[in-house]
Amino acid sequence: MIDRRAFLAGPLGLLAAPLAVAGQQSAEKVYRLGILSPGQADDRTVPTISNLIPTVLGESGYVEGRNLVVERRFANDKFDQLPQLARELVQQQPDVIVAMGALAIQAVRDTTATVPVVMIISADPVARGLVASFSRPGGNVTGVTLVAETVLAGKRLELIKEAVPRATRIAVLAVGGFLSSSSQLEEAQKAAQVLRLRLAVVEVHDADYERAFREMVAERADAIFIMASPTLNRDRKQIIERAAKYRLPVIYDVREYVEGGGLMSYGGSIIGIARRAAAYVDKILKGAKPGDLPVEQPTKFELVINLKTAKALRLTIPPSLLQRADEVIE
């Protein structure tokens, strides 16, 4: 578990415990890293996965602008552009490409069978045919899977219901057309039946969160469940602000939402995902073959609750839930 209090100020305001620095790369060798995301271009000052990966790599001696060139491509939620963006990246002859989300990974995989690909995916990569198996992925793709998100979807619904016992209708916020969220939604729908909850799925388009929240209010949602999504994670400040404006309890997938004023989260962290992906990039740049590197699956999840936010919502968190929390922010 990462000690969040040990973070020091860095290029993005976050610098966690360093990766192993043994075998730091010489400045004489310049490495090329490609990053492909289905979402919109990030503000470089915001700690998103695409921004944090180069920062974390800097801890192992790969410094952007010195011995590391980073080529970034964003589809701006226009998923049909991913194949062209993947071709553009491959033409840059990168040493490795980090692809986020099933559609981006598939686009790169369809473009090249030789350039190593480090994936970050919230679906099952084996079921999608992206790798042969978790232990021996084969081919040119490996990386980090958040496949437990399909299981965690049900757990998060259970937790928000426990936090808001009166809730009978939960809004599900998803990115419009983001197909990789379907497995999360399926799991959430199964859990909702058991919990006797009604789900109202609301999709956000073109980052219009004001419209999405108004729709959730119109649906008479008692609380909100946020889909795990790079796009939503990037826009977490807007989501948190509107949740406060409309006084709606929300459960999120990563702790950064709660640290920014969100109510509660169950899952991992953005810095943790970036660190895991960066470790794969480091190994590949040092000569490892992606097909020989097992796909990493999450093993530990944290429940984080913000009591200050709960108080602002006039919501009393049950003591039994607080006792199970890994961290309570007061």
Q: DSSP letters along 188-215, please?
A: HHHHHHHHT-EEEEEEE-TT-HHHHHHH
Report the pLDDT value the prediction gives residue 22, as an integer from 0 to 100: 43
Of 32-36, 45-49, 60-64, 172-176, where does mean pLDDT reach its minimum? 45-49
Q: CA 55, 57, 59 angle in degrees (round to 5)?
A: 85
Rounded distance between C-alpha atoms, residue 323 and residue 209, angstroms:
33
At residue 47 the predicted structure's pLDDT band, cuts being 50, 70 and 90, is: confident
At residue 114 the predicted structure's pLDDT band, cuts being 50, 70 and 90, is: very high
Q: List strands edge to edge, sheet with 223-226.
A: 198-204, 169-175, 223-226, 250-254, 264-268, 302-306, 327-329
Report the pLDDT value the prediction gives residue 122, as an integer from 0 to 100: 77
Find the DSSP H helices in the chain. Answer: 49-58, 82-91, 102-111, 149-163, 182-195, 209-218, 230-234, 236-245, 255-259, 270-285, 307-312, 319-324
* Alpha-carbon separation of residue 205 from 209, 213, 253 (angstroms): 8, 12, 20
Higher pLDDT, 257 or 180: 257
pLDDT exceeds cutoff 90 at 46: no
At residue 45 the predicted structure's pLDDT band, cuts being 50, 70 and 90, is: confident
Report pLDDT digits (tens) over 205-251: 888 999 999 999 999 999 999 998 878 888 999 999 999 999 999 99
Domain ranges across the chain? 4-147+269-292, 149-268+302-329
Bridge partners for 171 per DSSP:
200, 224
CATH number of 4-147+269-292: 3.40.50.2300
Q: What is the mean pLDDT of residues 120-147?
A: 91
Q: What mean pLDDT, rounded, does the chain reach?
A: 89
Report the pLDDT value the prediction gives residue 123, as an integer from 0 to 100: 78
At residue 21 the predicted structure's pLDDT band, cuts being 50, 70 and 90, is: very low
Percent of the chain at pLDDT exceeding 90: 72
Q: List strands edge to edge, sheet with 96-100.
A: 68-74, 31-37, 96-100, 117-121, 141-145
Report the pLDDT value the prediction gives residue 149, as an integer from 0 to 100: 58
φ, ψ of residue 118 to 5 degrees: the values are -105, 115
Higher pLDDT, 46 or 203: 203
Q: What is the mean pLDDT of residues 276-296?
A: 97
Rounded distance between C-alpha atoms, residue 179 and residue 181, angstroms:
5
Q: What is the mean pLDDT of residues 289-313?
A: 94
- Do you know the residue count of the chain? 330
Chain position carrying tokens 């998103």: 48
Chain position carrying tokens 């990766």: 19
pLDDT exceeds cutoff 50 at 278: yes
Residue 130, number of CB atoms within 10 A of its CB: 25
φ, ψ of residue 237 to 5 degrees: the values are -65, -45
Report the pLDDT value the prediction gives residue 77, as an integer from 0 to 100: 80
Residue 78: which residues within 8 A CB-CB, separation 6 or more? none
- What is the domain class of 149-268+302-329 according to CATH? alpha beta
Chain position carrying tokens 């796909």: 295
Q: What is the mean pLDDT of residues 267-271?
A: 92
Of 7-16, 31-40, 135-144, 218-227, where does mean pLDDT reach its minimum? 7-16
Q: For residue 114, which of 282, 281, 289, 276 has the smallest C-alpha distance? A: 289
Rounded distance between C-alpha atoms, residue 289 and residue 95, angstroms:
12
